[in-house]
Structure 1
Amino acid sequence: MTSTHEIDWTGRVLRLRVEGPAQGGEFVARHEGRVVFCRGGITGEVVDVRVDGDPGRSFCRGTVQRVVEASADRIETYCPAAAAGAGCCDWSHIRAEAARGFSGRILAEQAGRIGRITVPGESVPVEVPAGDGAVTGWRTVARWVSGPDGVPGVRRARSRELVTQPCVQADPRLLEAVRAAAVGPHREILGVLGDDGEVHLARRPLTDQAPRGRDRRSGHAAATRARARHSRAEPWETVAGPSTVVRRVGGHAWRLPIDAFWQAHRSAAGHYAGLVGTAVTGAPGLPDRPTVWDLYGGAGLFSAAVLDVAPDARVTVVESARSSLGAVETALGADVAPRTVLARVESFLEESAGDRDPADRPDLVVLDPPRGGAGIPVMTALAARTRSRIVHVGCDPASLARDVGVLVAAGWTLVDLRGVAAFPGTHHVEGLAVLDSPRAR
């Protein structure tokens, strides 16, 4: 049996020169041959970092305690909750334009490292949703938790501890309503601002209050905890506003349950719908009545965008959440509403694999998977069966790079890759990739 030298720098304060941004929002520095992931740093700075956690491998993680040499991109943290240690607005100390640049570097780095995709330059362009450059008050869907005293707050970074200073992401009307509501102790609170200006609040008991941290098993453990938490969660109890939420994009209106998925940023849904419409219009060799699959389709936002530019398209929406799928026909009208399939995408692809009619194969696919991405089996199947174009809206740079890399390896051409700063003040960046089939005319 071999033994390894155990290293534990936990509690040490290190003076470091910060390098580039890393996937996950931290910045990279190095000390004595090890990587130190720094929370609160910016490229080029000299900082004192306290090591918060050390798994004993080639890296450890820490938080900036003092800035010795500041970057020109550093600003005063504008989120009170983040300034108090919450994990919400982890990039609120960085100028918005510079933060988009760092996000673009992360997208490019993940594309190359994970997807084996070559992108021009060192950065992918990152745009603000529909020109909406607000860094506060942009969120129309937000969550809080309450402690034993019933006061709502957000979690401290890498902790279950609550921070009760306000986070600036939520629309002020939501924050005001949450503060005024008597939600009770140990509750999860959901606030939603409809596009009609109506405020909706719901609550349910917390299902997981165990301490959490980041160790060598944290990625798998966090995913396991999240799945278990959602499976045990009780139904939401509405405490303010109607139980259905009005959403509008273009000439379409949806009435959705309060917990149905919708883009959190007030301008993101319309922005993505516009990008999808443009991608459909430019798809090579589409027939007059193209077959389109809208996978992980939610309430049919992208189906509406497709039908706006290709009204004769034969659209199928695949979604596993019944509450979202039920709103498709209401929003689009019974005469033009797409076919809806209540299923996991994997199951839908397996069941449709034997279709012999060429008309049942998609000419174009739009997919908007959850943060973990669609995965290699799904992307492999789509690469083999899609005739013209695939539009992938990705919530995470790493999973987007992996998914797109499957298509590129299969001979598909990446014609557009861009980021969307749909979570300003944070490291989270979304991406949109457009790829054309080698079979496209």
Structure 2
Amino acid sequence: MSAAGGSNWAGSVVELRLGAPGHGGFCVARHEGRVVFVRHGLPGELVRARVTEDRGKSFCRAEAIEIVEASPDRVPATCPVSGPGGAGCCDFAFATPPAQRALKAAVVAEQLRRLARWETKVEVEPIPLADGAFGSVSGGWRTRIRLAVDAAGRAGVHRYRSTEAIADLRCPQPVPGAMDGIAERTWTPGAELVVAVDGDGLRHIVELAPSSQRDRRGGDRRSTAARRSAAHAARPERVVSGSGRTVQYVDGRRWEVSATGFWQPHAGAAQRYSDVVAEWAAAGPGASAWDLYSGAGVFAARLAGQVGAGGAVQGVESARSAVADGAAALRDLPWVDLTAQRVERWLAGRIGSAAPQVVVLDPPRAGAGKEVVTALTACAPARIVHVGCDPASFARDIGCYHESGYRVTRLRAFDAFPATHHVECLALLEPLGS
């Protein structure tokens, strides 16, 4: 099995001592001079792992199929779908909730150290639900779920790193009642289902027509980026249950948004992030504020309450449907202006204009990027609140801010996706010397 010999390790079983967690829901190990990314294990454990992918590079991927020496943080897995050979839904279903959060904190800290060259301590906090309980994989926290439909018309979840659907809906992430009756129905082969339980407790199910770009044999030979692009491209929709329009509430305000549009999947996340943004923004009466990648304007609403009728809030979002939903929800706040435009294009026209007091931005998973950060900091806002849902892109953006003369003065991270490797980070940035 020597890498020098050029052999392929796929299918081989090796005994490994697991090291630190890596970004993506695995632990890092080494074998015969190569790095092995191992899922279903915890730091310090001795495991027997089967190599699942070896492309001949300096690393390969594996799954722990036997725990020889267990970590004290290991518990019986709460998700029956995500074990070796299964789905990618619950990366850490076999770890205690505190251990899950510690793993995520270590990953965020490492990404910040490596990509932003910033050493800092990170704590990942649980998010409370409306009744005061904390979201947990055992209690159900997810209000928005996207399911695949296999060739037999059965709804399921994707196998890890595969387009194959597993017709097993026992993952405990969804809130109670979300999955009721779905497994018993036959759906359009190759379609996708969007299930959303809204703030009034009503369930909406929308079937998305099969992607026209899939090949006729049911395979998908495109790159990961192309598959993601196709998954989010406009497709014919059929409302199966509910109205397809979900009602959501944040800080006492009501939104009505499409079930297939973006909303935070964790039942308590939108309110939690809104509260943090409001605290850090601290915009004064009459001030100017920007909400970039504004979606339906949840943060814009909080900013509007701070600046008042004498101030101005400008929101920018490329999805026209989200802008329309936001305009309807905020129609009683005429000092809020939501614009449907790409953020980088909008910012290009603002350089040299009066500096806003605060800017909030919540970019997509890929992050804001150097172009946006450079243009934004050139506008010299007094405070920037940056929200990131991917540790690597978040860290890259923080590094760009540092290069542009801003520093992080507050940092918080939230366990918005319990039992998974995903984590949400928020940073308050201010100019150096302020």
Same fold (TM over 0.5): yes
The one of 224, 227, 236 aligned to 1:225: 227
1:138-149 correspondence runs (5 A): 138-149=141-152
The answer on whether the counterparts of 2:126 and 2:135 sit within 8 Å (CA) in structure 1 is: yes
Q: Residue 204 of structure 1 aligns with which residue?
A: 208
Which sits farther off after the overlay, 170-179 or 141-150? 170-179
1:140-159 correspondence runs (5 A): 140-159=143-162
TM-align CA RMSD: 2.0
Instruction: Give 1:7 deviation, angstroms.
Output: 4.2
| Matches of 2:135 and 2:231, distance apart in 1 | 34
1:28-427 correspondence runs (5 A): 28-83=28-83, 85-120=86-121, 124-130=122-128, 132-136=134-138, 137-165=140-168, 166-179=170-183, 181-207=185-211, 208=214, 211=219, 221-231=223-233, 233-281=234-282, 288-312=285-309, 313-336=311-334, 338-353=336-351, 355-356=352-353, 358=354, 361-427=355-421
When normalised by structure 2's length, the TM-score is: 0.92
Instruction: Give 1:5 deviation, angstroms.
Output: 5.9
| Matches of 1:386 and 1:176, distance apart in 2 | 51
The answer on whether the counterparts of 2:13 and 2:50 sit within 8 Å (CA) in structure 1 is: yes
Q: Structure 1, residues 155-208: CA drift from partner, whole Å, max 9, x if none? A: 111122222222111123110053355433222000011101111000022324
Which sits farther off after the overlay, 80-89 or 270-279? 80-89
| Matches of 1:276 and 1:153, distance apart in 2 | 36
Aligned residues: 419
Instruction: Give 1:152 deviation, angstroms.
Output: 0.8
When normalised by structure 1's length, the TM-score is: 0.90
| Matches of 1:71 and 1:211, distance apart in 2 | 39
The answer on whether the counterparts of 2:152 and 2:189 sit within 8 Å (CA) in structure 1 is: yes
Q: Structure 1, residues 315-345: CA drift from partner, whole Å, max 9, x if none? A: 1110011111112232223344511111111
Amino acid in structure 2 at the alignment position of 1:401: A
| Matches of 1:211 and 1:292, distance apart in 2 | 47
Give the secondary-structure state (helix, strand or coil) at the position aligned to 2:21: coil
Q: Residue 426 of structure 2 aligns with which residue?
A: 432
Instruction: Give 1:311 deviation, angstroms.
Output: 2.6
Gaps of 5+ in 1: none
Amino acid in structure 2 at the alignment position of 1:422: A
Gaps of 5+ in 2: none
| Matches of 2:409 and 2:19, distance apart in 1 | 30
Instruction: Give 1:211 deviation, angstroms.
Output: 4.8
- Among the aligned pairs, what percent are the same residue? 39
Amino acid in structure 2 at the alignment position of 1:222: T
Give the secondary-structure state (helix, strand or coil) at the position aligned to 2:328: helix
Give the secondary-structure state (helix, strand or coil) at the position aligned to 2:55: coil
